[in-house]
Amino acid sequence: MELMYPLAIAVGVPVVIVLGLLTYGYSKRFKKGRKVANTEFVEKTRYFKNKMIEYKCFSIIVIVSLMLALCILMGIIARPFRTKQTITEIHNRDIFLCLDTSQSMYEVDLEVCEKLKEFVSGLHGERFGITIFNMQTVTMVPLTDDYDYIIQCLDDIETACKIAIGDDYGAFYDAEKANQYRFIVDGTLNDNYGQGSSLIGDGLASTLFQFPNLKDEDVERTRVIILATDNELYGEPFVELSEATELCLKYGVPVFAAAPEYVVDYKEYERCVKSTGGQLFTLEDDNMAQDLIEAVEKTDTSVIYKSEKTTTEYPEALVGLLTIALCVHFVATRRVRL
């Protein structure tokens, strides 16, 4: 226990004690009125003696309770507090989930999101973001450490994927289900369907440049992209997959990819992913999502230990004692008719 203003105790309490001693030691001299003669008989009665003892006791209680209340008040003014120092482990890492939301990827997206919720709930200081892409890329969650919001978005993606997998695409007559499904569709498609679908290079490159200070070589944060796609490209992207992975390699961002059992041009896709320092995982492995997450966890190379000092004041006990002292003082004062 420490005091924020110890001078209040050092100066105030001695002053209160001195004033109390002076008050108690001061005897009033008779100045006005008439003295009563022959009081010896009254003073010897038991009733008179009991009343005098009662009067003196309550007079002492009046002075002591008032002095005590003033001393407690000085303690409150001094503001007692406690300091607690905590050391927090902050993992200095940024992770982006880049999801291909084309029709052929719903099962993979569903499994990845299910496992990532457990992964996100165990993060400590890392920032996490989500982008989805098809014909266009949409940033669903910018980098944030609001893990509750991230898990909520992963839940919404899961719900949309389950609706798409379990329902006939022409049967979205339920307005609520239709809106839930569109959570992973709106923004990724436009009216120009001739532009193509699953523009993977565009999606990966767009996600890469969502990292802040990407060109700053002094940034110590570890950066990782989790890419979920089957490499089934339709149309002409602005950025080819090989060009996007070259950019990832240039900026030191490994790509860990999740894919279904069938992957278009598997060897070339695996070569592009591995060139960034990442790995490719497919649904052929029963533990695909878990293995992918374990590989991402191994990239955690930058940890900061942040020391925080918290100050907590404890006035409640003193305020309670002050209230009790004042109540005793007023009761005693009333008793002695002061």
pLDDT of 11 reads: 81
* DSSP per-residue string spanning 108-127: HHHHHHHHHHHHHHT-SS-E
CA distance 177 to 121: 27
Question: For the chain, what is the mean pLDDT?
Answer: 81
pLDDT higher than threshold 60 for residue 27: no
Closest CA to 67 of 22, 27, 28, 26: 22
Structure tokens at 259: 């894919």
**Cα 88 from chain centre:** 12
169 CB-near residues (< 8 Å, 6+ apart): none
Q: List the 80-91 sheet strands across, edge first.
A: 2-3, 80-91, 303-313
pLDDT higher than threshold 60 for residue 193: no
Provide the pLDDT confidence category of residue 197 given band limits of 50, 70 and 90. confident
In this structure, whether the domain defined by 88-305 belongs to CATH 3.30.565.10 is answered with no
More confident residue, 164 or 256: 256
CA distance 264 to 45: 115
Structure tokens at 193: 């369907």
Listed in sequence order, the DSSP H helices in the chain are 7-25, 40-43, 46-78, 106-121, 147-166, 175-181, 200-208, 241-250, 266-275, 288-297, 316-336
| pLDDT digit string, tens, across residues 34-90 | 777 777 777 778 888 888 888 888 888 888 888 888 888 888 888 888 888 777 666
pLDDT of 93 reads: 84
Provide the pLDDT confidence category of residue 24 given band limits of 50, 70 and 90. low
Provide the pLDDT confidence category of residue 141 given band limits of 50, 70 and 90. very high
pLDDT higher than threshold 90 for residue 185: no
Mean pLDDT value across residues 151-158: 91
Mean pLDDT value across residues 1-12: 78
Q: Quote the percentage of the chain above a pLDDT of 90.
A: 18
Closest CA to 80 of 308, 325, 307, 321: 321
| pLDDT digit string, tens, across residues 42-58 | 777 888 888 888 888 88
Provide the pLDDT confidence category of residue 244 given band limits of 50, 70 and 90. very high
Work out the burial of residue 56: count CB atoms within 10 Å of its CB; fewer than 13 is exposed, 13-18 middle, 19 or more buried: exposed
CA distance 131 to 114: 16
Name residue 80's beta-bridge partners: 3
- SS3 (DSSP) at 254: coil
Are residues 235 and 199 in contact, defined by beta-carbon separation less than 8 angstroms? yes
More confident residue, 25 or 176: 176
Tally of CB atoms within 10 A around 19:
14
Mean pLDDT value across residues 252-256: 92
215 CB-near residues (< 8 Å, 6+ apart): 251
Mean pLDDT value across residues 247-258: 91
CA distance 261 to 65: 83
Are residues 4 and 62 in contact, defined by beta-carbon separation less than 8 angstroms? no
Provide the pLDDT confidence category of residue 204 given band limits of 50, 70 and 90. very high
How many C-alpha atoms does 297 have within 13 Å on its Cβ side? 13
User: Which residue type occupies 207?
Assistant: T
Domain range list for the chain: 2-25+39-79+315-336, 88-305
pLDDT of 105 reads: 85
Q: Quote the percentage of the chain above a pLDDT of 70.
A: 87
pLDDT of 198 reads: 77
